[in-house]
Amino acid sequence: MNQSDNKTANNPLGAEPVGRLLWKFSIPSIIALLVSSFYNIVDQFFIGRNVGELGNAATNIAFPLTITCSAISLFFGMGGAAAFNLAMGKGEKDKAVGYLGNAAAMLFLCGAVLCIITVLFLEPMLKFFGSPDEVLEYAKTYTGIVAIGFPFLALTGGGGHLIRADGRPRASMFCNLSGAIINIFLDALFVSVLHYGMAGAAAATIIGQVISGSLAIRFLSSCQTVKLKKENLILKKEYIERVASLGAAPCVNQIAMLVVQISMNNSLKYYGGLSVYGSAIPIACVGIITKVNQIFLALTVGISQSMQPITSFNYGAEKYDRVRSAYTRTLISSLIIGICAFLAFQLFPRQIIALFGNGSEEYFNFAVRYFRVFLFFAFVNFMPAQVSSFFTSIGKPKKGMFVSLTRQVIFFLPLLLILPLFMGIDGIMYVGPIADLIAVIVSFVMVTLEFRDKKYSTA
């Protein structure tokens, strides 16, 4: 038995068929991400039907803070998972459990810091995010309550990656699923039955998040591949640096999304105010469409996340044929899902937007056009995030970070500043497909060059 076989003989990540592993990890991961998406979209559904357009616009104004929590989750969650699996693949068990414990501690601490900052600077923050005057009070009510759950939201998202890295994708799914079911039930009760409005939707959300986060703590305290002890939670520079280096790429991608979201809100507010739609309609429509798109992206991201422990472990164990196989299967599956999303967005945009309440004819006209134009490349726009995740999983975070920046920062933001100057509110719609196409081409070239390395062909 050679060195690689010695490392992987007792670990299914290095021994089970790749297709079976992807299936085993992807289904719970997809369900967990879908559930996470439902946290936002369920609020949007009940608010849209019971509060109206201004309430929907308020949830979109608050959305940058949700993105910030996602950035924290990916920074320490995905970074910790990659560090853990790479160390386990190399047989470095003591380091692996250190990465796991430090990542979990940082998730909760950073979520708590975000909560404090949000509560202290709530109104100026929401104005900076682009809130129109008529939306501000709705946004303050909703965000002021939701902020309390940020430590648990960060721990749920990031903890899911850590639990999955430990080989328990079903446990990760259960954490998210439990909180989401409670959120849906309480949304119906608080908003539709008791008519608590924005406050009711926010309260339902944080109760679900606290339950999910508490379950994540329970599962992390009883890992199956290592024994996590209290001393592993004590922060150490070497562990945090390694976790941060591997989590930087997905985190930067989320930060870029944060910058884009804030810029989008302000652009929609300004150029919408100059159009027949007004400021609130574009913000409300884009908020709904973004969250609907997240449901489809959750499918492709879920598959990408199922790839992470497989590629990390096998790259560390020098089984490069399994790394290549995992990526190829992931790409094909995501492409099929992307085509389905494209067809749904092109054929049924009005039906989708109507699920979230009634609106004026201008409201529906804008939503339909935005669906079809902005998300025109939905069938391939998953690739930059997937390629970034792949590079991170094999310990090449700089390449992963560059890919993560291509769509959001290098292409999207400059186009967002330029196109509306000439095309008004329509220019914002065309930013999406142009940025998507260029970013996909860059991602495809980079991953193709990676697989031309001779170690993949000789594996």
Tens digit of pLDDT for each residue in 381-397?
999 989 988 998 888 87
Say how far apart CA 295 and CA 341 lie, in whole Å: 10
Mean pLDDT to the nearest integer, 140-162: 92
- pLDDT tens readout for residues 345-376: 999 999 999 888 777 888 899 999 999 999 99
Say how far apart CA 27 and CA 4 lie, in whole Å: 28
**Selected residue with higher pLDDT from 415 and 25:** 415
Q: What is the mean pLDDT of the chain?
A: 87
Hey, what's the torsion of the CAs at 313, 252, 456, 88, to 10 degrees? -10
For the chain, the helix, strand and coil percentages under 3-state DSSP, each to the nearest 5: 85, 0, 15
Say how far apart CA 450 and CA 311 lie, in whole Å: 14
Say how far apart CA 75 and CA 223 lie, in whole Å: 21
- Write down the pLDDT at residue 39: 65
DSSP 236: -
- pLDDT tens readout for residues 254-274: 888 888 888 988 999 999 989
Residue in 107, 243, 244, 84 with CA at minimum distance from that of residue 166: 84
Range among 30-34, 75-79, 222-226 rated most confident: 75-79
Residue in 278, 282, 441 with CA at minimum distance from that of residue 371: 282
Over the range 422-441, which residues count as b (16 or more CB within 10 Å of their CB) and which as e?
eeebebbbbbbbebbbbbbe
Q: Would you say 111 and 155 are in contact if contact means Cβ atoms under 8 Å apart?
A: yes
Say how far apart CA 448 and CA 436 lie, in whole Å: 18
- Write down the pLDDT at residue 117: 96
Mean pLDDT to the nearest integer, 30-35: 74
- pLDDT tens readout for residues 401-457: 888 788 888 899 999 999 999 999 999 999 999 999 999 999 999 999 999 887 887
Say how far apart CA 241 and CA 186 lie, in whole Å: 40
Which residues make Cβ contacts (< 8 Å) with residue 302, sequence separation at least 6?
A: 26, 29, 30, 31, 32, 33, 34
Which residues make Cβ contacts (< 8 Å) with residue 295, sequence separation at least 6?
A: 34, 37, 38, 41
What is the residue type of 289? Answer: I
Which pTM was predicted?
0.72
What is the residue type of 175? Answer: C
Model confidence at 150: pLDDT above 90: yes
Q: Would you say 112 and 120 are in contact if contact means Cβ atoms under 8 Å apart?
A: no
Residue 2 banded pLDDT, cuts 50, 70, 90:
very low
Phi/psi at 358 (5° precision): -85, 165
Model confidence at 342: pLDDT above 60: yes
The proportion of the chain whose per-residue pLDDT surpasses 90, expressed as a percent, equals 38
Say how far apart CA 403 and CA 383 lie, in whole Å: 10
Q: Would you say 212 and 175 are in contact if contact means Cβ atoms under 8 Å apart?
A: yes
Helix axis angle, 425-451 to 361-374, nearest 10°: 20
Got the DSSP string for 164-215? Answer: HHTT-HHHHHHHHHHHHHHHHHHHIIIIIIS--HHHHHHHHHHHHHHHHHHH
Cβ burial of 347 (10 Å; 0-12, 13-18, 19+) is exposed
Rg (CA), the chain: 21
Which residues make Cβ contacts (< 8 Å) with residue 38, sequence separation at least 6?
A: 180, 183, 184, 295
- pLDDT tens readout for residues 278-302: 888 898 888 888 888 888 888 888 8
Q: Whose structure tokens read 């992470």?
A: 308
Say how far apart CA 189 and CA 316 lie, in whole Å: 49
Paired tokens of 172: 């990760």
Which residues make Cβ contacts (< 8 Å) with residue 414, sequence separation at least 6?
A: none
- Count the alpha carbons within 13 Å of 110 in the hemisphere toward its beta carbon: 25
